[in-house]
Structure 1
Amino acid sequence: MEGLAADLGYQFLRTVEPIGKGGGLAVMWTQNCKVEVLQANNRLLDLKVLWQSKSFFLTCVYGEPIRGRRSDVWEKITRIGINRTGAWVMTGDFNELIDPSEKIGGADRREANGKDFRQMLNACGMWNIKHTGYQFSWAGTRNNMTVQCRLDRTVANQAWSDLFPKALETYLQKLELDVLPERERWPWFQRIGGFQH
Structure 2
Amino acid sequence: MYYAFLGDIHSSMDDLKVVLEDISNKAPEAIQIGTGDLFECTISKKKITNEKFRQLEDVMIIPDGFVDLLTFDTVIGNQEERILLITETNDSLRYKLGSLPEIIEIDHVRIIHGHQFKWGGVPWSLIEAEIEGPLIFYGHSHQSELWISGVRQTIEFGVPYSIGNERTLVNVGAVVSDREWVLYNKLKEEVTFMKTKID
- Same fold per TM (> 0.5)? no
TM-score (ref. length: structure 2): 0.33
Structure with higher RCO (Cα < 8 A, 6+ apart): 2
TM-score (ref. length: structure 1): 0.33
- Structure with greater helix percent: 1
